[in-house]
């Protein structure tokens, strides 16, 4: 075994070791986050403002939908204008050649 083979072989284990440590850390912080969520949900101290949140979500969705429709209509108009301009150019180009 040469030195280069040994270094690449040991780098493999170092890299896998670091990934394993990262996995363990992810499991630990996920456990703590879920524990905090569980305590918050079942302590009775957290109120959900469902009506307020629902109205915000509905307003956001309506705004998004209107913006989306306007964008689609603008793109369609630009496409139609471009198509009519290209057809005018092609028809004028053929008439000039004749």
61 shares a domain with 19: no
53 shares a domain with 33: no
* Nearby residues of 1 by Cβ (< 8 Å), 6 or more positions away: 9
Tell me the two tokens of residue 19. 């990934």
Question: Count of domains in the chain?
Answer: 2
39 shares a domain with 68: no
Q: How many alpha carbons lie under 13 Å from residue 88 in its C-beta half-sphere?
A: 6
75 shares a domain with 28: no
24 shares a domain with 51: no
91 shares a domain with 54: yes
Domain hosting residue 83, numbered range: 47-98
Whole-structure pTM value? 0.39
Q: pLDDT by residue for the chain (98 residues), tens digit each?
A: 676 666 667 788 888 999 999 999 999 999 999 998 888 878 877 666 566 667 777 778 888 888 888 888 888 888 888 888 887 777 766 555 44
């Amino acid at each position: 075994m040469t030195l280069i083979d040994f270094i690449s072989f040991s780098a493999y284990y170092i890299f896998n070791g670091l990934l394993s440590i990262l996995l363990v850390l992810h499991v630990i912080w996920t456990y703590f986050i879920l524990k905090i969520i569980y305590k918050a949900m079942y302590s009775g101290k957290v109120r959900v403002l469902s009506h307020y949140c629902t109205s915000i979500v509905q307003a956001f969705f309506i705004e998004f939908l209107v913006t989306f429709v306007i964008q689609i209509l603008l793109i369609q108009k630009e496409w139609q204008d471009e198509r009519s301009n290209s057809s005018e150019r092609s028809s004028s180009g053929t008439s000039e050649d004749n």
